Structure 1
Amino acid sequence: MSQVKIFADSTCDLPREWLQKYDIGLIPLYVTFGDQTFKDGVDITTPQLYAKVSETGSLPKTAAPSPADFIQAFSPSIEAGREIVYISLSSELSSTYQNAVIAADEFPEGKVTVIDSLNLSTGIGLQVMKAVKAAEQGKTPGEIAEIIARVKSRVETEFVIDSLDYLYKGGRCSGMQNLVGSLLKIRPVIKVIDGKMTPAYKVRGKREKALEQMLSNALEQRDHMDNDLIFVTHSLAEEDALELKRILEEKTDAREVAVSDAGCVISSHCGAKTIGILYVKKE
């Protein structure tokens, strides 16, 4: 067991079996429908989230873990004599990072290192896996923080949004945009830039066209990819994800191309059939 335990939150979208295999601590965000509050991935799954959206006709609110949640999660590892490195959802998207910093101040100095991923979904997960590898090699929290500081600006995160409905319901585009987008079958592509979700471009026409464009963008970078790991992350789009995985395995030198499911918080902002390709560029 490493002296340093790596933590993430539920938005990292890492496969559940990886969390167990690599001893990664996970802190859930919250999803609220009316007066009902659920822990992401603990009390509610992504298919259940979509069923509730259909039932209620509205999107849930999402909320960060409280400082008390972090203290409760971190305490057993600290009491066991371990140090913690926690990699958070982008501070540009949530107060999760700030709440973790507040919690870290409740422990002796240096026991908890909090890192802002400036990313989301497996854009965080890629950084978490780099941290896990460093911890296994005996790196200190400070050394791990330095490694992640060099990695996070090189994470490429690109998602095809299948429908504007969730962006519209969540207040991220106007009703007219939603109507026009639906009529023209416009599929927005989102990138993460400086920690923020940024519309990169739009693809008009069939879903397959948008997926082909995203795949083409990734393959153009194949010579610049860190070949450790590529993620294909999706929200109820497993068939497409497996096909993208097959092509990426065939056309890149990646040691591993992994498929992962988007959790409830990510899905509530992007909607069903959202799919992304995420990787790290070489230094």
Structure 2
Amino acid sequence: MMIKITADSTCDLSKEIIEQFQISLAPLHVLIDDQDYLDGVAIQPKDIFEFVGNQGKTCSTAAINVFEYEQFFKPFAEKYEAVIHINLSQHLSSCYQNAKLAAQSFKNVYVIDSLNLSTGSGHLVYEAAMLAQQGLTAREIIAEIERIKSNVRASFVIDKMDYLKKGGRCSSLEAFGATLLKIKPSIEVKDGQMVVGKKYRGNFDKVLEKYIEDQLMKLEEIDPSRVFITHSHCSSETVQKVRQHLESYEHFEQILETTAGCTISAHCGPNTLGILFKTMK
């Protein structure tokens, strides 16, 4: 392939997919108190759960800066005909703006705002990698990714609101009320931003069944090529139940399981799960 596909570490694709298509990832920063770690390089989600959940430390994430992007792009720009980089939504991070500035130093680096996160952007990275493998030009790949990116549907259900509270995304009172009433909120990506969707009540596994039914209500409009089950430290039993539920629809050609990286884990905590797919229009 003469086209190199790269992405932010937030795309949450599996190691197998990354290796299959030789996708390279630019790691975001994860800040634990005063310590700076590179996402997926020096820190993993299980480390975040230890630091935050067990040790009570604070956790936040920070964007890749312009210089880091320049250093990341340079070897690929020299080796490949073109480099196509797919970013975390510009409404969630300054990564896209920084990558665009860095790309100005090269004639063959192209940057796309996914307007999404996790395997919402991962769908686009996967698609771009397949098109590159098929021999399409950079112009053709970029046009196709821009065409389909608004079709991606990304959402997650959060079991507990502890990490949202610690990150300042909800109040202690809201978190306490949610715990008391056994509320499991869904978080959806709309126009590149995270918004609160439906609020479910009850046992997490039962909530996930209802969540899947709600997400797949208009099944005839959903692209059957693939669906991602992306989760943060959920039990294998829970993930298997979700897979079986999806399989019962007999709709998707591929059901791909991936583990959420440090960004989703830091903001949503363990026991977060979503199904992410594309619509056909």
TM-score (norm 1): 0.95
Q: Contact (CA 8 Å) 1:87, 1:115: kept in 2 or not?
A: yes
Partners of 1:188 and 1:90 lie apart in 2 by: 21
Residues of 1 paired with 2:53 and 2:225: CA distance? 39
Within 5 Å, which residues of 2 pair with 1:161-180? 161-180=158-177
Corresponding position: 1:267 with 2:260: no
CA contact (8 A) 2:4 2:80 kept: no
1:144 is displaced (CA, Å) by: 1.3
Q: Quick one: distance in 2 between partners of 1:4 and 1:221? A: 36
**Aligned-partner residue type, residue 273 of structure 2:** I
Secondary structure of 1:115's aligned partner? strand
Which has the larger displacement, 209-218 or 15-24?
209-218
**What is the distance in 1 between the residues matched to 2:267 and 2:274?**
14
What is the CA–CA distance in structure 1 between the aligned matches of 2:252 and 2:205, rounded to whole Å? 24
* Displacement of 1:91: 0.4
Offset at residue 55 of structure 1 (A): 4.2
Matches within 5 A, 1:1-283: 2-108=1-107, 111-237=108-234, 238-283=236-281
Using the TM superposition, give the Cα deviation of residue 132 of structure 1 relative to its aligned residue in structure 2, in angstroms: 1.0
- One-letter amino acid of the counterpart of residue 118, structure 1: L
Contact kept? 2:29, 2:38, Cα under 8 Å = yes
Give the superposed CA RMSD: 1.3
Asked if the contact 1:30/1:65 (under 8 Å) is kept, the reply is: yes
**Gapped regions of structure 2 (runs ≥ 5):** none
Q: Partners in 2 of 1:155 and 1:22 — Cα distance?
A: 21
SS in 1 for 2:93: coil
Task: Tell me the alpha carbon deviations over residues 241-262 of structure 1, each in whole angstroms, 9 at most, x when there is no partner.
Answer: 2221222133132111010000
3-state SS, counterpart of residue 20 of structure 1 = helix
- 1:81-130 Cα distance to aligned partner (Å, 9 max, x none): 4311111000000001011001100112xx01100000000001101111
Bigger mean CA offset, 180-189 vs 135-144: 135-144
Task: Give identity over the alignment, percent.
Answer: 42
CA–CA separation in structure 2 for the residues paired with 1:61 and 1:203: 27
SS of equivalent residue, structure 1 residue 84: strand
Which residue identity does 1:188 align to in structure 2? Answer: P
Relative to the length of structure 2, the TM-score reads 0.96
Q: Deviations over 1:136-172 (max 9, x none)?
A: 2222222212111121111111210111111111111
5+ residue gaps, structure 1: none
Runs ≥4 residues deviating over 4 A = none
Structure 2 CA distance for aligned equivalents of residues 244 and 81 of structure 1: 40
Contact 1:77–1:84 (CA<8 Å) still a contact in 2? yes
